[in-house]
């Protein structure tokens, strides 16, 4: 009987949780999605995940060998194995997710936030294969980032390194969900660009289809569609967003000297509407000796199950270093 080796990749979100079996090449063999039930305790979610994993294992042909469990979750700390004060999840101050999974499987378990998992996935399975220095930015409801230097993800002494979304662009600026003012995430995110549109609507008199949408109902997709039609107000909103993103990416490049910066997530699906002006601003704000040396690219990970493959990449990366985790 043929033996198949898989790492389990789990992506925990506030609404849904996706997971699957991922081989060494990054191919997702089988996968499933369940409701997270954010109001429940973490142990109930882990119980439902593990029950579904057992069902997936039975559905696979051949002999299945599981090598470990990699988890991407909000506010997940690689060093402590805990998820601390997760936004949109009623899990309390701190939950040891590694211990919960080890209660079901005697396997290595590694956890980190979704942006760090995306960076490891990009290095093993995506556009950063062969690179040792790069940055991954996830643009969606928030702004996450994973920094890789000399082939290793930067976790920092407390496991929280790489939070570019919570670096400040304006000390007296917009309130951020983290409690600070003027964070990059408050401007460069799906919600951030909608707030920028609302500000521009109040300041300018341009005719725009966006004026027909109630502020509470406006989405980043609406802004993108208007920009594609050449709407001046939507294009101005993307330009403001790109300027702030380009400025902070140039700062990050001065710190880590990346070969490339990869962009992924829902807002990144705007493609060149966002990426082209961002490239210009990165070059404008870069330290002069670095100009022309940093590529800004869309992620090379598959859109459909890239988060699952990225989470599983945590395990394959650790096994490649011959380090036992969890």
Task: Name residues whose C-beta falls within 8 Å of residue 95's C-beta, 6 or more positions apart in sequence.
Answer: 42, 82, 83, 84, 86
Both 49 and 8 in one domain: the answer is: yes
Both 149 and 289 in one domain: the answer is: yes
Q: What's the CATH number where 63 sits?
A: 3.30.420.40
Cα dist. 190→19, 218, 280 in Å? 25, 10, 21
Nearest to 141 by CA among 101, 213, 194, 212: 194
CA dihedral 187, 190, 191, 194 (to 10 degrees): 80
Cα dist. 237→66, 80, 92, 159, 188 in Å? 47, 39, 37, 34, 10
In a domain, 326, yes or no: no
In a domain, 21, yes or no: yes
In a domain, 213, yes or no: yes
Count other C-beta atoms under 10 Å from residue 70's C-beta: 33
Give the model's pLDDT for residue 270.
92
- Reading the block at residue 59, the tokens are 């559905």
Domain count, the chain: 2
Calculate Rg over the CA atoms of the chain: 20
Both 190 and 52 in one domain: the answer is: no
In a domain, 88, yes or no: yes
Both 28 and 94 in one domain: the answer is: yes
Task: Name residues whose C-beta falls within 8 Å of residue 132's C-beta, 6 or more positions apart in sequence.
Answer: 148, 149, 150, 151, 259
Both 103 and 204 in one domain: the answer is: no
pLDDT at residue 304 is higher than 90 = no
Give the model's pLDDT for residue 323.
45
Cα dist. 138→69, 116, 230, 326 in Å? 22, 10, 26, 26
Cα dist. 244→34, 226, 281 in Å? 36, 21, 8
3-class secondary structure, 233: helix
- Crossing angle of helices 232-256 and 272-285, in 10° steps, is 50
Both 31 and 78 in one domain: the answer is: yes
3-class secondary structure, 183: strand
Task: Report pLDDT digits (tens) over 97-118.
Answer: 999 999 999 999 999 998 999 9
Task: Report pLDDT digits (tens) over 169-209.
Answer: 999 999 998 899 999 999 999 999 999 999 999 999 989 99
Give the model's pLDDT for residue 303.
77
Task: Report pLDDT digits (tens) over 226-268.
Answer: 999 999 999 999 999 999 999 999 999 999 999 999 999 889 9
Task: Name residues whose C-beta falls within 8 Å of residue 232's C-beta, 6 or more positions apart in sequence.
Answer: 206, 208
Give the model's pLDDT for residue 141.
87
Average pLDDT, the chain: 93
Both 183 and 149 in one domain: the answer is: yes
Question: Which of 57-66, 71-80, 275-284 tops mean pLDDT?
Answer: 275-284
In a domain, 325, yes or no: no
List 260's β-bridge partners, or say none. 134, 295
Give the model's pLDDT for residue 177.
86
3-class secondary structure, 88: coil
Both 66 and 35 in one domain: the answer is: yes
Both 161 and 310 in one domain: the answer is: no
Q: Does the model's pTM come out above 0.85? A: yes
Give the model's pLDDT for residue 26.
94
Both 19 and 62 in one domain: the answer is: yes
Give the model's pLDDT for residue 59.
81
Give CA–CA dist 264/137, Å, rounded: 6
325 confidence band (pLDDT: 50, 70, 90): very low
Give CA–CA dist 252/238, Å, rounded: 21
Range of the domain at 95: 3-120+304-320
Report the percentage of the chain scoring pLDDT > 70: 98
pLDDT at residue 274 is higher than 90 = yes
CA dihedral 182, 186, 187, 193 (to 10 degrees): -150
Give the model's pLDDT for residue 188.
97
Both 194 and 270 in one domain: the answer is: yes
1 confidence band (pLDDT: 50, 70, 90): low
Give the model's pLDDT for residue 230.
96
Task: Report pLDDT digits (tens) over 60-77.
Answer: 877 889 999 999 998 999
In a domain, 125, yes or no: no
Both 142 and 287 in one domain: the answer is: yes
């Amino acid at each position: 009987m043929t033996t198949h080796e898989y790492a389990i990749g789990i992506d925990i979100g506030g609404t849904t949780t996706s997971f699957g079996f991922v081989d060494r090449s990054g191919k997702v063999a089988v996968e499933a999605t369940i409701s997270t039930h954010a109001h429940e305790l973490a142990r109930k979610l882990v119980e439902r995940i593990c029950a579904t994993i057992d069902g997936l294992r039975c559905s696979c042909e051949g002999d299945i060998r599981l090598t470990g469990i990699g988890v991407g979750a909000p506010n997940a700390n690689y060093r402590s194995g805990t998820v601390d004060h997760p936004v949109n999840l009623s899990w309390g101050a701190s939950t040891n997710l590694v211990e919960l999974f080890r209660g079901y499987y005697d396997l290595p378990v590694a956890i980190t936030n979704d942006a760090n998992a995306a960076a490891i996935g990009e290095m093993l399975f995506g556009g950063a294969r062969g690179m040792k220095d790069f940055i991954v930015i996830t643009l969606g409801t928030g702004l996450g980032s994973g920094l890789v230097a000399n082939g290793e993800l930067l976790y920092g002494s407390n496991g929280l390194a790489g939070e570019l979304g919570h670096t400040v662009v304006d000390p007296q600026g917009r309130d951020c969900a983290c409690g600070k003012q003027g964070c990059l995430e408050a401007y460069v995110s799906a919600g951030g660009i909608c707030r920028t549109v609302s500000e521009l609507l109040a300041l300018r008199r341009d005719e725009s289809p966006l004026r027909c949408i109630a502020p509470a109902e406006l989405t980043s997709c609406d802004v993108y569609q208007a920009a594609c039609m050449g709407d001046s107000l939507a294009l101005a909103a993307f330009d403001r967003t790109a300027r702030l993103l380009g400025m902070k990416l140039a700062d990050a490049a001065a710190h880590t000297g990346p070969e490339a910066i990869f962009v992924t997530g829902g807002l990144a699906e705007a493609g060149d509407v966002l990426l082209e002006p961002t490239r210009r601003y990165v070059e404008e704000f870069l330290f002069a000796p670095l100009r022309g040396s940093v590529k800004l690219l869309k992620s090379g990970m598959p859109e459909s199950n890239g988060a699952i493959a990225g989470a599983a990449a945590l395990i394959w990366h650790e096994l490649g270093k011959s380090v036992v985790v969890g």
